[in-house]
């Protein structure tokens, strides 16, 4: 036998054999994508206005609470396990101290209550924790002398977590990247009698340019202006640091961890999953959605195919699930077969 595995002039090993027919390709598939792998991010808006489209995210709109309740009904029918809610807070309610974040009657809390009331435990509701949708400066934390301060911010994040949990959310997902917030929030929730509420830590969250369309959606880009989040979100150059972030969040009580953004960070997803063997999620963020959608709109990419392929790639990297703006569309597609 020659060193290339061939006998005479023909290969004895033919990897193409199992690829020849669809039944065989399905049989040997190492990964699959199902509706149960998806978390659907939804933007909610004040009042009863019609859905307001987000220009940089074709196909995605901000929904009134009533429309959101209906949309979540579709997600339930399709077997999507979790929706993640984000509020487009009216500008007049945004302040330096972001106090609207812990107003128990804020848009977010009213949306959580309405969705839980309509759908109960048929679907989980995830609530992001960070101050940017509520702050006049667009930063995730409190700013003192031009710097986002850590420990004082944590107090506000605890208050925000509590009102969202009291409103009925199932998962608290801190996306702020302050040090020590997972432990502080866990302790506060336990003391308040909410030991069963899950914490999904945005553990390795990078200071990324791929969040642009999201900031349009929640109206924080104008507030943030030319500012950036590099003093708390991670440097895209780093890998080892992601491992330290995840280790700390797990030690502080995170139930599940997330890597964000998604597609450009699959190496991080893979390493986190291999290192910790805990439920690991990835966020296919707004800019990733925008890229694929824009190319598809121009006819340069096949929307359905790239959507499915990109999500399967997360599974292959080791993700247990993906937050994606494609969630509902994909779930529909998977149902149709």
Residues forming the annotated binding site for Mg(2+)? 245
Number of residues that bind ligand PBG (CB under 6 A): 11
Rounded least distance, CB 294 to ligand PBG, Å:
15
Residue 214 found at the interface with ligand PBG (CB under 6 A) = yes
In this structure, what token pair is assigned to residue 234?
Answer: 């991670």
Which one from 94, 116, 162, 205 is the annotated catalytic residue? 205
Mark whether 305 is an active-site residue: no
Select from 48-56, 118-126, 183-191, 208-216 the region that touches ligand PBG (CB under 6 A): 208-216
Select from 8-16, 29-37, 128-136, 250-258 the region that touches ligand PBG (CB under 6 A): 128-136
Q: Which residues are annotated as a binding site?
A: 245
Residue 43 found at the interface with ligand PBG (CB under 6 A) = no
The footprint of ligand PBG on residues 246-285 (CB under 6 A) is 285
Spell out the SS3 assignment of the chain: CCCCCEECCEECCCCCHHHCCHHHHHHCCCCCCCHHHEEEEEEEECCCCCCEECCCCCCCEEECHHHHHHHHHHHHHHCCCEEEEEEECCHHHCECCCHHHHCCCCHHHHHHHHHHHHHHHHCEEEEEECCCCCECCCCCCEEECCEEEHHHHHHHHHHHHHHHHHHCCCEEEECCCCCCHHHHHHHHHHHCCCCCCEEEEEEEEECCHHHHHHHHHCCCHHHHCCCCCCCCCECCCCCHHHHHHHHHHHHCCCCEEEEECCHHHHHHHHHHHHHHCCCEEEEECHHHHHHHHHHHHCCCCCHHHHHHHHHHHHHHHCCCEEEECCHHHHHHHHHHC
Rounded least distance, CB 6 to ligand PBG, Å:
49
Mark whether 205 is an active-site residue: yes
Residue 286 found at the interface with ligand PBG (CB under 6 A) = yes
Residue 216 found at the interface with ligand PBG (CB under 6 A) = no
Select from 31-39, 112-120, 126-134, 152-160 the region that touches ligand PBG (CB under 6 A): 126-134
Q: Which of 102, 134, 211, 265 binds ligand PBG (CB under 6 A)?
A: 211
Residue 175 found at the interface with ligand PBG (CB under 6 A) = yes
CB environment 259-268: b (16+ within 10 A), e (fewer): bbbbbebbeb
Residue 139 found at the interface with ligand PBG (CB under 6 A) = no
Rounded least distance, CB 61 to ligand PBG, Å:
15
Residue 37 found at the interface with ligand PBG (CB under 6 A) = no
Rounded least distance, CB 311 to ligand PBG, Å:
15
Residue 130 found at the interface with ligand PBG (CB under 6 A) = yes
Report how far apart, in Å, the C-alpha atoms of 142 and of each of 18, 104, 189, 235 are: 57, 19, 21, 21
**CB-wise, 116 or 229, nearer to ligand PBG?**
229
Rounded least distance, CB 249 to ligand PBG, Å:
15
Active site residues: 205, 260
Q: Give the footprint of ligand PBG on this chain (CB under 6 A).
A: 128, 130, 132, 140, 175, 211, 214-215, 229, 285-286
């Amino acid at each position: 036998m020659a060193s290339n595995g061939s006998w005479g002039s023909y290969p004895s090993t033919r990897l193409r054999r199992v690829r020849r027919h669809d039944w065989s390709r399905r049989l040997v598939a190492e990964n699959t994508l199902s509706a149960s792998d998806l978390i659907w991010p939804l933007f909610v808006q004040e009042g009863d206005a019609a859905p307001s489209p987000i220009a940089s995210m074709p196909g995605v709109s901000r929904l009134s609470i009533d429309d959101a309740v209906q949309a979540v009904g579709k997600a339930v029918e399709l077997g999507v396990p979790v929706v993640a809610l984000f509020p487009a807070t009216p500008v007049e309610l945004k302040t330096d101290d972001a106090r609207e974040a812990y107003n128990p009657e804020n848009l977010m809390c009213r949306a959580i209550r309405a969705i839980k009331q309509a759908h109960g435990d048929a679907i989980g509701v995830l609530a992001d924790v960070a101050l940017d949708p509520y702050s006049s400066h667009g930063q995730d934390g409190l700013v003192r002398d031009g710097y986002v301060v850590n420990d004082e911010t944590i107090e506000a994040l605890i208050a925000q977590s509590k009102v969202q949990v009291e409103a009925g959310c199932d998962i608290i997902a801190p996306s702020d990247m302050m040090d020590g917030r997972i432990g502080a929030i866990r302790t506060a929730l336990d003391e308040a009698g909410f030991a069963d509420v899950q914490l999904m830590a945005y553990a390795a969250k990078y200071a990324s340019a791929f969040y642009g369309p999201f900031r349009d959606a929640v109206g924080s880009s104008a507030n943030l202006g030319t500012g950036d989040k590099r003093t708390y979100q991670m440097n895209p150059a780093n890998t080892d640091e992601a491992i330290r972030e995840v280790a700390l969040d797990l030690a502080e009580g995170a139930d599940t961890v997330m890597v964000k953004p998604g597609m450009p960070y699959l190496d991080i997803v893979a390493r986190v999953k291999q290192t910790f063997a805990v439920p690991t999620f990835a966020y296919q963020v707004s800019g990733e959605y925008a890229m694929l959608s824009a190319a598809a709109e121009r006819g340069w990419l096949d929307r359905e195919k790239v959507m499915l392929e990109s999500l399967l790639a997360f599974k292959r990297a080791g993700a247990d699930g993906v937050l994606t703006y494609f969630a509902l569309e994909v779930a529909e597609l998977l149902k149709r077969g």
